[in-house]
Chain A
């Protein structure tokens, strides 16, 4: 019991101290850009009403999820194909390396040319930025599938979809998840930026709107919302990862102990 309390203390102590410092340091602030934390928190419920959640936050999240899911599907599918055939890999590698190296936000102006400024544009932007880490990590993962296991599967007559599902994707999954994790943070960046460029709703759009109209406390609440969103998505991702890769982490822990 005492130990649990101590651990809880460790978890909450520093955040509490930091928030307290922010509260105290900004309390009498007259600097327009650094409003008192009190004002920001007071503004929060006024700005982020249920209505605003429906018109701005939900569309943002839906676009992010649509783009991310598309990128995951395309990345894993293409990555499996490219990773499985050595010749295909050799042909594609330089081009893929180049495409990955292009900083994803510069795609926003290009995709605006093709897809206008609607939801489609934002989903395409998010997908086209997220796809590279997933694709390249899948290629690496599929490439590294144990050849003894591949031979064993073959001699037991495990072929086709069963082989793909139970052996290839399974053993590549730690790598695939590493790619998905990188893609998630790129996805959030692209979601915000595509909305800052051209949009009529979304969190990014709203935050910039506040900044341009010098509604500074409102802008700060927007920053907080983006922070909370990033944090929540990363927690959800960790939960999913722990479930899906449970076998792998268990295996790692066992080998390390022995």
Chain B
């Protein structure tokens, strides 16, 4: 069954690539706007031999990883603290509900003024956008703690830290992992957006440069790279999630999510 699915998927992918080759060649869209697959592949091959491309890829990944790491740490710590300190949750709920939907791109003009095209501009946007994903999931997760388990731990005389470590954290972890997975995808979007719009060094900036210099196949090649990067991050985040939660019902029970 699985083999059949892989074969069908490969067929679909091949058909997609063939379509990309055929449509411009048949003149359905202008080649200048939408180059055939083979020319994009050629441009991609050129890019891969260019050291500037690897530099840009590295810059994008640095912004992504650093921003994600800061957001995850801050989100988890803030989430746990807000949940275990009495009344803090009620007191922060309205503020969180208000700040969360503010689109992070609204901060672009501010980032430009404060940091120009530095890495810090990218980080500002990435951290703001992905922090909420982690925070909200952590809050949900901590709320899910079984009161019986909590009371049991208390009656065995476990201190606050031990309760956080042995009761709260295992309960919240699946939620946190979902938050990290969402945050990883959001962080990539914002990193590339910041580069594209602000001009911070990275893949997004290369795409903007390719666009303004009419290098259409190169632009498509870079977009393909951005897509592959996103795909890798999605698959990687899922793998990490499955590893970290190997002990958990949802993974052991094998209901593929």
Contact = CB atoms under 8 A, between A and B. Distances in A.
Interface of A: 7, 10-15, 18, 33, 87, 90-95, 97-106, 108-110, 112-114, 185-186, 188-189, 192-193, 196-197, 204, 207-208, 210-211, 216, 219, 222-223, 226-227, 229-231, 233-234
A103 to B, nearest CB: 4
Contact of B204 (A10, A100, A106): A106
B189 to A, nearest CB: 4
A11 B93 contact: yes
A54 to B, nearest CB: 21
A137 B254 CA distance: 20
18 contacts: A10-B93, A11-B94, A14-B91, A90-B9, A94-B9, A94-B12, A97-B231, A97-B234, A98-B228, A103-B192, A109-B219, A114-B33, A189-B105, A193-B193, A207-B109, A211-B109, A226-B103, A229-B103
A206 to B, nearest CB: 10
B16 A95 contact: yes
B90 interface: yes
Contacts of B4: 90
A90 B5 CA distance: 5
Task: Bin the interface of chain B by size.
Answer: 35 or more
A190 to B, nearest CB: 9
Contacts of A102: 223, 226-227, 230
Contacts of A114: 29, 33-34
Interface string B177-219: 0000000010011001100110000001001100100001001
Nearest to B5: A90
Nearest to B196: A105
A101 B224 CA distance: 10
Given A105-B193, A226-B103, 13 more contacts: A11-B93, A93-B9, A94-B9, A97-B234, A101-B229, A106-B192, A106-B207, A106-B223, A185-B101, A192-B103, A196-B108, A208-B108, A230-B101
A192 B106 CA distance: 8
Contacts of A101: 185, 227-231, 233-234
Instruction: Please indicate which of the listed interface residues A15, A109, A229 has the most CB atoms of chain B within 10 Å of its own CB.
Output: A109
B162 interface: no
A109 to B, nearest CB: 4
B104 A189 contact: yes
Nearest to B188: A103
B115 to A, nearest CB: 10
A82 to B, nearest CB: 11
A233 B101 CA distance: 8
Contacts of A193: 105, 193, 196-197
A130 to B, nearest CB: 13
A146 B193 CA distance: 40
Contact of B33 (A92, A95, A113): A113
B11 interface: yes
Given A90-B8, A192-B106, A113 B216 contact: yes
A215 to B, nearest CB: 10
A237 B213 CA distance: 41
